């Protein structure tokens, strides 16, 4: 569980004044609950779990459909857009203090170590894997002393037949058997992404990395 202190911050965003309490995030990040501000880039990141289970096209329709701004959850009037791959790589660099070098889900920058900073990222941006397991009443559950994973869509490129998109994965995957105290497994921590997903596909364990600029 993330600890809170009594230090408060206020930041003016494109649409609101946000108030936050500092916690155990890396320097330069402020968690506001459903969003996280990366101060060096003046970017506000929407929690990935808020778009879980929606395709790229579905979320993009919310962003670009000017005629239904009153019903869309994330719209252009509020400044939301998909994060680029460069923005995501910079996020990883500033959060983990590592150079991003893996373009697959086989990126294990911390080797066999179990890094609390990976769990902190998952807590902050939304544990999409835990929500998926809970929604299915799966036999596995995330251990109370660990985290599942954040999996979200970022940039896009034109494939041979369809627009396809990069899907980022930051994973702790520390699991136990649901309804018991028996430990199942703890996979190596993963920080990576790969270009795999067609724009019409949606999965219950995948959301989207959305950002917007904040005012200085």
Calpha distance 181→200 (Å, rounded): 39
Record the pTM.
Answer: 0.79
Average pLDDT, the chain: 77
Q: What is the pLDDT of residues 51-98, one digit of tens each?
A: 999 988 888 888 887 555 555 567 767 889 999 888 998 999 899 887
Nearest to 37 by CA among 85, 77, 91, 92: 91
The residue ranking higher by pLDDT, 14 or 120, is 120
Q: What is the pLDDT of residues 4-57, one digit of tens each?
A: 333 332 333 333 334 333 458 999 999 999 999 999 999 999 999 999 999 888
Cβ atoms of residues 62 and 75 within 8 Å: yes
Calpha distance 57→39 (Å, rounded): 29
∠ CA 33-153-22, nearest 5°, is: 20
Structure tokens at 45: 């990141």
The secondary structure of residue 102, as a DSSP letter, is: -
């Amino acid at each position: 569980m993330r600890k809170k202190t009594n230090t408060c911050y206020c930041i003016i965003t494109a649409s609101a004044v946000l108030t936050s309490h500092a916690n155990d995030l890396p320097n330069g990040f402020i968690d506001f609950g459903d969003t996280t501000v990366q101060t060096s880039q003046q970017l506000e990141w929407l929690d990935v779990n808020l778009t879980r289970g929606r395709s790229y096209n579905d979320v993009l329709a919310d962003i670009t459909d000017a005629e239904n701004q009153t019903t869309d959850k994330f719209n252009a009037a509020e400044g939301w857009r998909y994060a680029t791959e460069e923005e995501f790589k910079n996020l990883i660099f500033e959060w983990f203090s590592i150079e991003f070098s893996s373009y697959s889900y086989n990126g294990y920058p911390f080797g066999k170590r179990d890094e609390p900073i990976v769990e902190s990222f998952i807590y902050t941006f939304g544990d999409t894997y835990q929500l998926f397991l809970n929604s299915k009443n799966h036999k596995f559950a995330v251990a109370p002393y660990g985290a599942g994973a954040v999996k979200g869509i970022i940039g896009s490129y034109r494939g041979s037949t369809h627009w396809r998109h990069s899907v980022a994965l930051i994973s702790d995957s520390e699991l136990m058997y649901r309804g018991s105290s028996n430990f199942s497994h703890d996979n190596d921590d993963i920080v990576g992404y790969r270009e795999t997903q067609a724009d019409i596909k949606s999965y219950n364990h995948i959301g989207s990395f959305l950002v917007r600029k904040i005012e200085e």
